[in-house]
Each structure stands twice: as structure tokens, then as C-alpha cells.
Chain A
Amino acid sequence: MQGFYTLFRKEILRFWKVAFQTVAAPVLTALMYQLIFSHVMARHLEVYPGISYTAFLIPGLAMMSMTQNAFANGSSSLIQSKITGNIVFLLLSPLGPLQFFAAYLAAAIVRGLVVGAGVIAITAWFGMPLPQAPLWIFAFAVLGCGVLGALGIIAGIWAEKFDQLAAFQNFIILPLTFLSGVFYSIDSLPPLWRAISHLNPVFYMIDGFRYGFFGQADVSPWLALAVVGSSFVLLSSLGLWMIKVGYKLRH
């Protein structure tokens, strides 16, 4: 347990020491989106009855920032350690695969939640209604960060160079998070794109998260929970397995 706790603390310290880049910057980016999109769209759109577009945008932006940062945390930490070589200190230690994985995952979730709280705190001023179902909000926040956190660990172990990781981030994570209904309800999409969006797990994270705020969403929160939960189990098992067999870590 001490091993897990130590690595977890180190990972927290790692992003906290550069909090300007890892926390403040994504919060500011989300604020920009909020300002620009609500300015451009607010007068033209009401996605859910009784909810302004400005308010609609808040949970989606928060979840998008959370997932992107949860992904970035484990992945960038691991690739930096691999490239600088200091991952050897972990590999020489008796840390078990579960401790190793759980520490990176927990730190990724914490970073995601801190960024999410920052985004909510700063965008709530745009007129966020009182949350309808805080438990759903919490569950999707943790699980959403968990899914992308696990994916970040996988990508960090898999990638051998920074540009491989950047490719993963730009060609997989970015489309998944952008095309997930952050800026729109996918009900407004043509049937084909709507069907494709239903295959995107990030859509369910945002949809479930939004349900917690407004009490209404595109799909049932239980369905969303099932999709996000099983994605989490699947990706965590994969990440754990990679560490256990030493994939690209122990040659």
C-alpha cells in the first residue's frame, strides 16, 4: 500500500509543480470555448427545453477538459519517464502491477477532477442551473476520467516517441472528445452521424454527466453508466495486463 501511495503522491506532485500548464491552461481554454460558442450560438439554439445553450455547454466542456487532461496525465508522465530513462527506478522496485497501474490511474483521475472543478467554477457564472443529480455528476466525472486515464497509461506505455503519443492524442483522443456532443445534442445530427456518435464512449460520459446537471439527456443515464463502466473495465484490464507482462517496459 505504501508503494501505491508513494507513486500516487509523486504523480500528483509532478502535475501540481507545473499546475499552470496542467490545470490553469485547460481551464482557460475551456473558458475561451465557453465565451466564443455562447456568444455565437446562444441566440440561435436551445438544445433542451428550458436550458440555455450557454448552460448546456458547461457540462460538456467540463467533461471534455477532464477527459483530455486525465489522458494527458498518465501518458505524458510515462513517456517522459521512458524517454529520460528514470522509469528504471520504478521497474527496479518491488511495486506490483496493480499498485503501479492504480497509482497512475488515481493521479490521472485527480488531475481530471481538479481541472473539471476549475472549469465548472469559472463557467458556472454563465448561468448554470443548480445540479439535479449530484451523484450522477460525481459518478460520471470519476468514471470518465478513469476511462481516459487508463487509455493514457496504455498510450504512454505503447508510445516510444513523443510524436507517436501526439498522434494518439490528435487522431484518437481529440476526435473522440470533440465529436461527442460537447457543443451540440447528437439528436440534431443526421441519422448516420448520430449512429456513429452512439459508438463513441465519450458521448456517454458527456451525456451522463449532463444528465446529472439538467435531469435530461439524449440517452438514459443507466445506459451511459453501463457503456462507460464497461469501457473502464476493459481498458483497465488491458493496461494492467500490459504492466503485468512488462509490455515495452521489461524487455
Chain B
Amino acid sequence: MTPAIEIQSVSKNFGTLKALDDVSFRVEAGEFFALLGPNGAGKTTLISAMAGLSRQTSGHIRILGHDTISAAYLARKTLGVVPQELVFDPFLSVRESLRFQSGYFGLKHNDDWLDELLEKLGLSDKADTNMRALSGGMKRRVMVAQALVHRPPVIVLDEPTAGVDVELRQSLWAFVRELNQAGHTIVLTTHYLEEAEALCNRIAMLKKGKLIALEDKTKLLAHSNERDVSFKLSAALPDALLPLKVRDEGQRVVLRLPEIARIEQVLATLREARIEVREMTVIETDLESVFVHMMQGGKA
């Protein structure tokens, strides 16, 4: 099957700055894919190149098989992008914005779908309001709707929930999930790692223009071998284990093990010291800690 997005050795230089450095990966059709990385990692540069807003210095990008440069027209018809920056046309109302956007995509009678979009995004009662009169969150919803006027099979959301209230975040994600279930491929970048963790199947991480990880979410989480284990003990922690201690939590003590297999050693040490383990919990790693760990230069 043709991948939804194929990125092949893409580099982008701005003068001497390498914003993207030989990035390659594929997003399969129907995936829910997250692109993570700190500010300046190259996420938006990559999305701009996918969308044809900028041109890569070298390499190829294909959207459902359409090259973004040699078949730009088809690539753009296939792709729906919600840009990161909050932009709008101050001359237009919400409905006008959507109607014009439909027209740019060559669509004439699109009102049924537009009404559906307005309803799903909670914009029905704002349809005839001028864009200027909307709050930031509302404008963001309109941008999402604008990206979807042509029912694109591949949807890219560049930090759609930055600066948006909780209610919108939840309703937006419910809608995006619905689109994914209906067969649309979704790529999102976000700073809220719990969002990526909750929504996505696969995750790519960029750092300084380079792809540093590309994994199934579960694998990526498993990759981080370090585990924190919380113990409730019958006596104080023996000296031999002090170097592993991270913190106390009330009556408990938290140890950080370089890998979970070391637990055996820890238990043996405790047995030797005749200390009883009353409770023990392995603290699951979350994406955030994996992310921070990798960005600090550690390997997955």
C-alpha cells in the first residue's frame, strides 16, 4: 500500500543552519502519528516542506505517492494542514472563510460538509460571526475546519492545542480520533506529551534537525530501561543501596534501577540485611521521561 507520507533523505538549510538533516521516515495510511521535539528541532520546517510552503534543499517528500514538488497540485489536494500560527482573514466571517477555502480546492457545492464541520467543531452558532470577533480558541477551530474542507486523506496538525483551553482540546481530540477511525491518516506535533501518548500509535522524535527516534509508542516506552521502584521497608535502607536512592515518599523510598533486571540484586541485598519488603511498586515510565531522557542526549 502507498504510504500516506514518505520522507526520503530530506535536508533543509537556511544559510549555514541545518534545519533538517537527512530525515527519512514513512507514515503508513491510517496511522495516528506524532512528531515530537523541542522548539527549533525542525518539526515545523518538516511540515512546511510537506505542505509545499517551503522547499527542501534536497530529498523527496511524497503524500500518498504524490511528490510535493513535481506533483505539487495533487500532493496539496491530498493533504490538510493546520498551521501552527493563528492566522485568519479579518475581512471574512467563519462561513465565508470555509466557503472560500473550499473554492480554492475547486469545490463548489460543499455546504453540507461545511455545516457538518461547523457542528463537529462547535462553531455552528458562530458561522456568521466575523473572524476578528472570535476568541483565540475559536479561531483555532476555524483553522482546523479550513484544513478539512476538502476531506483530505492525510491531515497534519502542527501544535493545534497550543494555548487552547481544556474543553476545546478534548473536543478537538475526540473529533480527530473520529477522523482517524474513519480512515484519515493523522500526523500531529504537540508539546503536550500526554496527548501524543494517549492518541498516537507511532512517534518520531526530532532533535536539531535529525530524526533520533522512530518507534511504536509502546516500544519507545519500553526502550527506556531505567525504572523507578518504590519500596515500603521494615527498616531503613541499607548503605549498600543508598547510591540508587532517588527520594523518599513518606514511608516509602524510591530507587532508580538502570534496568529492571537489577531488582533481583536489590532484593538479595535487602534479604541479607534482614529487611522485609512490605510493599513494592514499579513506577511506569511515561513518554515525558523518555522524551526528556532522549533530548538530554541519552539513547533509547
Contact = CB atoms under 8 A, between A and B. Distances in A.
Contacts of B83: 85, 88, 92
Interface string A81-95: 100111011111111
A89 B105 contact: no
B53 A251 contact: yes
Interface string A201-225: 0000000000000000000000000
A229 interface: no
B101 A93 contact: yes
A92 B53 contact: yes
Interface in B46-105: 48, 51-55, 72-74, 76-77, 79, 81, 83, 85, 87-92, 100-105
Given A2-B103, A7-B104, A94-B105, A89 B89 contact: yes
B100 to A, nearest CB: 5
Contacts of B243: none
Contacts of B107: 2
Chain A contact patch, size range: 20 to 34
B106 interface: yes
Contacts of A161: none
A129 interface: no
Nearest to A17: B91
Tell me which of A13, A88, A94, A246 has the highest count of chain B C-beta atoms within 10 A of its own C-beta. A94
Given A94-B76, A250-B53, A85 B105 contact: no
B146 interface: yes
A237 interface: no
20 contacts: A2-B107, A6-B100, A6-B102, A6-B103, A7-B100, A7-B103, A7-B104, A9-B100, A13-B91, A85-B83, A85-B87, A86-B89, A88-B87, A89-B146, A93-B101, A94-B76, A94-B77, A95-B104, A251-B48, A251-B54
Nearest to B149: A93
Interface string A7-28: 1011001100100000000000
Contact of A91 (B53, B92, B108): B53
A181 B84 CA distance: 50
A89 B229 CA distance: 50
